[in-house]
Amino acid sequence: METKQINLKIDHIPVAVPEGTTVLEAARSAGIKIPTLCYLKDLNEIGACRICVVEVKGARSLMASCVYPVSEGMEVFTNTEAVRKSRRLTLELILSNHRMECLTCSRSGSCELQQLALEFGVDTVRYYTGRPQPQPETSTLHLVRDNSKCVLCRRCAAACRKTQEVGVIGPNDRGFQTHIGSAFDRDLNEVDCVSCGQCVVACPTGALTVKDDTQQVWAALADPTKHVVVGAAPSVRVQLGECFGMPVGTNVEGKMLTALRRLGFDKVFDVNHAADMTIMEEGTEFLHRLQEGGTLPLITSCSPGWVRYCEQHHPDMLSHVSTCKSPQQMFGSLVKSYYAEQAGIDPKDIFVVSIMPCTAKKYEVKREEQRMANGCMPVDVSLTTQELARMITAAGLMFTQLPDGEVDPMLGMASGAGVIFGATGGVMEAALRTVVEVVTNGEMKPLEFKQVRGMQGVKEASFELPGKTVRVCVASGLANAKQVLDGVKSGALQYDFIEFMGCPGGCVNGGGQPVQSAEIRSFTDVRGLRAAALYSQDQRMTYRKSHENPYVQKIYSDYLEKPGSHKAHALLHCTYAPQKKYRV
């Protein structure tokens, strides 16, 4: 059915848009930017901040354009004196109780409130009542929350409640006492926070920031007794360039490798390689369960945010979760075992740093069940993409001018299957490339499993194996994961293999990604552009299936015997257990 077109005028410009379009969206289609603060498309459309007000002919007051629908013959004015005066006054009132210490704020230069002040020419605040005192809440391993910088936009609460279904933060109290917090103002480590960081992604100011662990890495690099090894996750190479002004989705793998080497790391490996190892182990586990009558569906365990959510909210499903460690933890485990033996280095003298798009990885590296038989934790510090960018800047490296570098091959050479781990559906596709070929004993053509690609919240497909139809599902974002789990539990949904990613869109949209404003996130397919860059790299790879990676084959032949062996299980697998679920 064809959508009805609505004709209106915005600043005297004729505009035709589909019925149901908001004034904000209609204005953008006419090349007119209306400023916003609380608005995030499809997530937080509440008209609360009043920064986006416009005049509508015939209306008795200014209207919030982000929630006001267009109508036939409407006349809208976005830049009148009344509109400008209202927006400026609103901004001054927001700033009146904001801790304005921009020079020492990690969001300086990328703060949406700061940008609005520049756009509106606000260089003094008439209603400033004194500097609010810092209110840092640092109880978790992954973020710092400071309500003295909060503007009550509620974007964080919407991300936690709607996207992630966790809902551990929201507005408390009323009137001037309103503030964002957890139930009974508990610290975040006393509620069911899963460390996903989607609240950080949504925050327009410095009220929510990733906890900075770079000083630990600088100290290790300066310690002559430490052999410091680094590896970056698949999605980091298509995110990092954004921190240096490059277009969204630019693949900067070569420059990233050069930057890591110039920062002083002794070995520069790649977590893509560990992703290939994950496929070998997880694929073997799936085939064993499928052929031997094991617990199905098998659910992936790559996302620590998802795993923690399952432990807290769905402990009855833990028997379905793969015992494989995540690629990050497999990477560290191999560095402190296989690589340590090959290089003749005591594992206790090796300091492993991972670069991740994910804030939950900071929590994962501290999980006790990850500890290796030699007493070492696989990874010592997990940095986000944001933190790596700060290290590069602090070192004086002109990132955009760096030449392309190369990875150290022993734990760095990867297949295209490892590359696509960074996008939702990538783990599933990578696993299918190996599983289907192993079962059929033939080469897959075509190689791509495009049914599981894309940014939809839930995708499903089925594939024919000899004597068996394999039903698979891919879901990203914990609200979608809950929807699928509820269907599986009730029997309404039946699958053999499920990929869950804690963040919507997968790792390309992790909580530690580069900061992008609502202006970009609302009107640009950031996740899709980053994912497309990964699929493009996959197509150019020499090897596109994990089991074809010669360095993976060598590790098994020299060290682990075969996928799923006793030694592989001891090193690359773990068990998960129910966690305390806080009650309110």
Q: How far is the C-alpha of 140 from the C-alpha of 121, rounded, in Å?
A: 37
Pairing relationship of beta strands 350-356 and 381-384 according to DSSP bridges: parallel
Q: Which of 110, 148, 195, 322 is catalytic?
A: 322
Cα–Cα distance, 151 to 207 (Å, whole number): 8
In Å, what is the CA distance from 352 to each residue of 227, 380, 570? 8, 5, 19
Cis peptide upstream of residue 18 (ω within 30 degrees of 0): no
Catalytic residue from among 75, 369, 406, 561: 369
Catalytic annotation, pick one of 153, 376, 503, 507: 507
Provide long-range contacts, Cβ within 8 A and 24+ apart, for 457-462: 457/504, 458/483, 458/484, 459/425, 460/495
In the residue annotation, 310 being an active-site residue is answered as no
Contact call for residues 527 and 505 (beta carbons, < 8 A): yes
b/e string for 102-112 if b means 16 or more Cβ within 10 A?
Answer: eeebebeebbb
Residues 255, 361, 362, 459: which is the catalytic one?
A: 361
Which of 38, 111, 302, 574 is catalytic? The answer is: 302
Assign residue 390 a region (left: φ > 0; alpha: ψ between -120 and 50; beta: otherwise): alpha
The type of residue at 107 is R
Residue 369 is among the residues annotated as catalytic for this protein: yes
- For the question of residue 361 being annotated catalytic, the response is yes
The span from the CA of 363 to the CA of 383, in Å, is 11
Q: Are residues 273 and 413 in contact, defined by beta-carbon separation less than 8 angstroms?
A: yes
From 45, 364, 387, 448, active-site residue = 364
364 is catalytic: yes
Question: CA 457 to CA 299: how far, in whole Å?
Answer: 16
**Annotation marks residue 203 as catalytic:** no
Neighbours of 49 (CB within 10 A): 26
Identify any residues that bridge with 354 across adjacent strands, giving them in sequence order: 231, 382
Residue count of the chain, please give it.
Answer: 584
Coil, strand or helix: which one is 53?
strand
Sign of CA dihedral 308, 310, 313, 319: negative
- Catalytic residue (one of 282, 429, 448, 499): 282
Return d(Cα 194, Cα 186) in angstroms, integer.
15
Q: List CB contacts of 186: < 8 A, sequence separation 6 or more.
A: 582
What phi, psi does 191 have (nearest 5°)?
-130, -175
Check 242, 285, 311, 448 and give the catalytic one.
285
Helix H or strand E segment including 351: strand 350-356
Q: Is 282 a catalytic residue?
A: yes
Angle between helices 426-440 and 271-292 (to 10 degrees): 50
302 in catalytic set: yes
- The closest alpha carbon to 242, from 28, 404, 388, 416, belongs to 388
Residue 253 · residue 213 · CB < 8 Å: no
Active site residue ranges: 282, 285, 302, 322, 361, 364, 369, 507
